[in-house]
Amino acid sequence: MTLTLRNAILAAALLVLVVLTGLWVFQSWALIMTQGWMAKVGVLPLYGIVLSTALSLGLAVSGFLACRRIFRKGNAPEMFFLALFLSTLAGESLVLTIAWVQLTGASSWYISTITRSIWGFRLSGLAFLLCASLFSFDFSYRKYGNLVSLALAAGWAMAIALPIHEPAHRDYLLWDLGDNASIGLVLSLLAGMIAVNFLLGLRHPNEDTAQRNLRAYASLILVLTWVLTLWFGPWASPLALPGLLLLSKTSDPSPYGP
């Protein structure tokens, strides 16, 4: 895959972040002006939703930009997919859109659609983490475009196929899955398998052991962050910050070719 196509994929991810940021700015401003900080969305205060989605979006944008810079400097394959994973955390900001729908009295169909969209971001992020973990073993496949297409197709196909229904409570805003506990457990186990990939990669000898180890430890933190978003939504995103700090120490040029 040419460098131009890789940059095009990263540019597309950046465009998605820009759109989600613009949507968040507009909706937060409009809701605060019309409803007030203390408005209730179900049992949740509006200011809490605005704050949590702001943290999630801010970390997604800053993390994506940092990983993109590291990838361009060192060209480590993991960084390409970790950058895309971090961009998917911005999908948690759509929780504010659900609050918008509820406070404006729009059709509940929009809530179900937004719920599937949030899960599309989450499941695509899990697929990107899987792709990143493969390169812990010096995976030689370099057609990133094919991997990105497969990850997005798998993530959004599963999100569309997920059974969802309107919950009896509104303390989390998203609609419930068919069986929240069981599906959450299965997805957590899948994330655990990806974490094992990163751990096993630490034992694989290569020319860049120190840099690769830092990326693996940082990736474990990102996997944990993803799992916690299943239960805590946008409030879990800031837990990725320690992982970003570790990744910032891997910005030295690596032995990977362009």
Closest CA to 221 of 197, 251, 195: 195
For the chain, domain boundaries: 3-250
Q: Which pLDDT score is estimated for 26?
A: 95
Q: Which pLDDT score is estimated for 82?
A: 93
- Which fold is adopted by the domain 3-250? Rhopdopsin 7-helix transmembrane proteins (1.20.1070)
Q: Which pLDDT score is estimated for 76?
A: 80
pLDDT in tens, 10-60: 999 999 999 999 999 999 999 998 888 888 887 788 888 999 999 999 999
Ranges under pLDDT 70 in the chain: 1-3, 138, 167-172, 179-180, 202-209, 251-258
Q: Which pLDDT score is estimated for 172?
A: 59
Q: Which pLDDT score is estimated for 29?
A: 93
Q: Which pLDDT score is estimated for 192?
A: 87
DSSP string, the chain: --HHHHHHHHHHHHHHHHHHHHHHHHHHHHHHHHH-TT-EETTEEHHHHHHHHHHHHHHHHHHHHHHHHHHHHH--HHHHHHHHHHHHGGGGGGHHHHHHHHHHT--HHHHHHHHHHHHHHHHHHHHHHHHHHHGGGT-----HHHHHHHHHHHHHHHHHHS-EE--S--SS-SPEETTHHHHHHHHHHHHHHHHHHHHHHTTS--TTHHHHHHHHHHHHHHHHHHHHHHHHGGGGGGGGHHHHHHHGGG-S--S---
Q: Are 58 and 89 in contact (CB under 8 A)?
A: no
Closest CA to 215 of 90, 92, 75: 75
Q: Which pLDDT score is estimated for 169?
A: 55
